[in-house]
Structure 1
Amino acid sequence: MLSAETISIVKSTVPVLQEHGETLTRHFYKRMFSHNPEVKPFFNQAHQQAGLQQQALAGAICAYAANIDNLGALGPAVELIAQKHVALQVKAEHYPIVGENLLASITEVLGDGATDEVIQAWGEAYGVLVDVLVDRESAIYDEIASEPGGWAGFKHFRIARKEVESDVITSFYLEPVDGKALPHFKPGQYVTVRVPTPDGSTTMRNYSLSDRPGQGHFRISVKREDSNSPDAPDGYVSTLLHRELEVGDEIEVAAPCGEFFLQPDLHPERPLVLLAGGVGITPLISILSDALQTTPDRPIVLVHGAINEDMQAFRQVIDQLAEQHSNLRRHYCYDEPAKNGAAREEHMTTGLVDEALLDPLLPDEDAEYYFCGPRPFMTSIYRQLTARGIPAENLHFEFFGPRGALEAN
């Protein structure tokens, strides 16, 4: 338990953290990678270059400081962080490295504002947070290892099949080299892929599982980001998968994780609304396929925004599902007009996934909403749904970055 004095000191740092948070976190990551390069493979360098991890950490630090006297309010954030850490195989022994560099960064960035009392208070507060995270992460590790087919750490998988889904997205069907059964993941979850880098290290990426559970394989559907550099935004691993790895090659995969998944027992009587932007369709196609099997009478609306038909993945699959299931209503929205002036079908439009498009598509009654896509798409959808008065507990999404950035748009 933190003392009242410690809580008061930590809360008093909120204004300065709000003002200098990103400066602090940029300094922190630079310092840690310099002093402890062994932890660099745990961090997505694409997100580092884009500033997303710095923003996310700054937001998390501010939220922790503001709620230091009410940690229960941070429950969803703790779960998100814990799931990400387990996916990347972060362990208890890594936290002292983070703590040492964080406290040093506070001292170096805040200067005179980082008094001995402030550093001591933040050291105690960090210790409490570590205990919370390590306890939850230990429980998740145990759950994964005890699940039928589960495993600890990374496991070798063989690429059994590659299937082109669009001009930029290819699916990879992965089967365990040891031939053992796979765990029953939750639709919407992801796996972590670890691959070697030219410098002899490794790098990791999270990819949503895009197939239903229980298929005897894992399927990830990866958008190609043209790059040959392991430090370039999102490019190295996708380029490796698309252009170098072939059927029969092996990669390392960690067990499924993630707090974004279909919750079949959460108001199954309500309609299900799935909103996808671009490659954000990957977790939602898994959710859709499973929901159609487990709740065959549940009304489902799926809206998929894409640049054009050639860039859209899984259109034929969704069309077939719509033909087979009368409870599924789908709509495609494209940025670009149809090529050569070709006519589009009734469920296809050109434009934005905006209020004008969604108004006639969304159900009038309470529904459960799941959405995923690029950041501009996410902020737009979040704004539209909250403006419609949809309760926060009905909104399910995965968003990388500070929650405030989503809510501010």
Structure 2
Amino acid sequence: MLSEKTKQIVKATAPVLKERGTEITSCFYKRMFSAHPELKNIFNMSRQQTGGQPKALAYTVLQAAENIDHLEALLPVVKQIGHKHKSLHVKPEHYPIVGYHLLEAIEIVLGDAASEDILQAWREAYDEIARVFIDVEQQMYDDDKKQAESWEGFKPFVVVEKHVESETMTSFYLKPADGTDLPVFSPGQYVSVRIKIPGDSHLSARQYSLSDAWNRDYYRISVKLEGEEDKPIGRVSNYLHEKMEVGGSLEVSVPAGDFTLTEQTNKPVYFISAGSGITPVMSMAKTLVARESNQKFTFIHAAKSAEHHAFREEAEQLISQNPAGRLLFLYSQDSENQGEHIINGRLNEDILKKVVQDQDGDFYVCGPLSFMKCVIEDLQNIGVPLENIHYESFASALEMQISN
């Protein structure tokens, strides 16, 4: 347990962290990777170059400082980050390395302002925060071990099929190289995929949602093409799109993530997605239809255009198989209207007000950060309780925190 003195010192440093947090975390990553280059195999190095990862860590550290006297308030976020750590095979022995270099960075950046009292308080605080993460992640590892088909870390897989879904998205069907059955996953979860790009000194790992319902033979991931080949962002997605063919190999983690479809209920379900956010939603929708329960559901997807719309035919087929389902597609760029369920424009509160008939239903929202925040706000404005809204963001878990 942290002493009251330690808590007060840590909370008092929050304004400094807010002002200079990214400077501290940038220094931290630079020094840690210099001392431990093997950790580049775990971290997303593209996000290091773009500054996204230092910014996300700075925000996480700030939230920990502001909530140091009631860390339980951060438990939902810790669990979400913990799932990602599990998929990357982060282990307890990594935490002391991170702690050492984080304290080192605080001392370097703050200089004389980093008194011994402040550094000691942060040593104690970091140990407490690390313990919370380690305990949460250990429970996840233990749960995985209960499944006979599960594995630890990364396992070799082979690409058995490659299918273009849209101008910017391609699906890869992956089977274990050893021919074993696959463990059950919850619809909405993701896996970490790890590859070695020629010319790189480190492995590259990325998270991709599983876009199909579970089966014991293969996993399907659907990868959106990001950025340009000569830019750091989208380096892995470009490699997969351009270089990875049927017969190619990569490594895959056990599925992780807590944005998942709830157990079967009688409540109506609304799936609301945009862009690549459709990938976990497809897994959820296909699983729901397979239940054959006639549970009412509405599938809403927003895309740039028909050409950028992945899984259009697959979603339409799902609805045709289930009389309880409804479908709505929205294209932000004008395109020829090819059905009563297709409209030009962006999703907004007025449209949701017309479509949502059951405010007490379950709502699953996934897409870019700006889309997510607007949809969640609009849903609340039309009377949907926040506790009924389940959401997944490709941004930082903490950045996506929504308050009543």
TM range, smaller chain: over 0.9
> Which shows bigger deviation, 378-387 or 79-88?
378-387
CA distance in 1: counterparts of 2:401 and 2:99, whole angstroms: 28
Structure 2 residue aligned with 1:200: 201
Q: Identify if the C-alpha distance between structure 1 residues 368 and 202 changes in structure 2 by more than 3 Å, giving closer, same or farther.
A: same
Q: Identify if the C-alpha distance between structure 1 residues 403 and 226 changes in structure 2 by more than 3 Å, giving closer, same or farther.
A: closer
Matched to 1:98, the amino acid is V
How far residue 404 of structure 1 moved from its aligned partner, in angstroms, is: 4.3
> Which shows bigger deviation, 154-163 or 342-351?
342-351
CA contact (8 A) 1:160 1:175 kept: yes
Cα distance per residue 1:243-288 (max 9 Å; x no partner): 21211111111111111111225xx232211111111100000011
Selected match of 1:365 from 336, 343, 359 = 359
> Which shows bigger deviation, 166-175 or 355-364?
355-364
Structure 2 residue aligned with 1:311: 308
Structure 1 residue aligned with 2:347: 353
> Which shows bigger deviation, 323-332 or 139-148?
139-148
How far residue 70 of structure 1 moved from its aligned partner, in angstroms, is: 1.2
CA contact (8 A) 2:80 2:397 kept: no
Q: Identify if the C-alpha distance between structure 1 residues 130 and 31 changes in structure 2 by more than 3 Å, giving closer, same or farther.
A: same
Structure 2 residue aligned with 1:323: 320
Q: Secondary structure at the match of 1:332?
A: strand
How far residue 226 of structure 1 moved from its aligned partner, in angstroms, is: 5.2
How far residue 336 of structure 1 moved from its aligned partner, in angstroms, is: 1.1
Q: Secondary structure at the match of 1:330?
A: strand
Q: Which runs of 5+ in 1 are unaligned?
A: none
Q: Which runs of 5+ in 2 are unaligned?
A: none
> Which shows bigger deviation, 135-144 or 281-290?
135-144
Q: Identify if the C-alpha distance between structure 1 residues 133 and 357 changes in structure 2 by more than 3 Å, giving closer, same or farther.
A: same
Q: Secondary structure at the match of 1:173?
A: strand
CA distance in 1: counterparts of 2:48 and 2:371, whole angstroms: 21
Q: Secondary structure at the match of 1:403?
A: coil
Cα distance per residue 1:165-207 (max 9 Å; x no partner): 1111111111111111100000000011100132332110101
Q: Spell out the pairing of 1:9-408 with structure 2 (5 A cutoff).
A: 9-197=9-197, 198-225=199-226, 227-228=228-229, 232-233=232-233, 235-264=234-263, 268-294=265-291, 296-338=293-335, 342-399=336-393, 400-401=395-396, 403-404=398-399, 407=402
Matched to 1:155, the amino acid is K
CA distance in 2: counterparts of 1:335 and 1:49, whole angstroms: 31
Q: Identify if the C-alpha distance between structure 1 residues 123 and 369 changes in structure 2 by more than 3 Å, giving closer, same or farther.
A: same
Matched to 1:204, the amino acid is A
Matched to 1:321, the amino acid is L
Matched to 2:270, the amino acid is V
CA distance in 1: counterparts of 2:398 and 2:382, whole angstroms: 19
Q: Provide TM-score, normalisation by structure 1.
A: 0.93
Matched to 2:5, the amino acid is E
Cα distance per residue 1:62-99 (max 9 Å; x no partner): 22112211122111011012111111111111111111
CA distance in 2: counterparts of 1:50 and 1:305, whole angstroms: 27
Cα distance per residue 1:7-54 (max 9 Å; x no partner): 111111122222222222222223322332221221112323333322
Matched to 1:35, the amino acid is A
CA distance in 1: counterparts of 2:223 and 2:155, whole angstroms: 20
Matched to 2:17, the amino acid is L
Q: Identify if the C-alpha distance between structure 1 residues 9 and 170 changes in structure 2 by more than 3 Å, giving closer, same or farther.
A: same
Matched to 2:142, the amino acid is D
How far residue 391 of structure 1 moved from its aligned partner, in angstroms, is: 2.8
Q: Secondary structure at the match of 2:355?
A: coil
Q: Identify if the C-alpha distance between structure 1 residues 292 and 254 changes in structure 2 by more than 3 Å, giving closer, same or farther.
A: same
Cα distance per residue 1:357-403 (max 9 Å; x no partner): 21111124312111111222222223323333433322212222253
Q: Secondary structure at the match of 2:354?
A: coil
> Which shows bigger deviation, 289-298 or 131-140?
289-298
Q: Secondary structure at the match of 1:136?
A: helix
Identity %: 41
Q: Identify if the C-alpha distance between structure 1 residues 328 and 49 changes in structure 2 by more than 3 Å, giving closer, same or farther.
A: farther
CA contact (8 A) 1:382 1:406 kept: no
Matched to 1:84, the amino acid is K
How far residue 215 of structure 1 moved from its aligned partner, in angstroms, is: 4.7
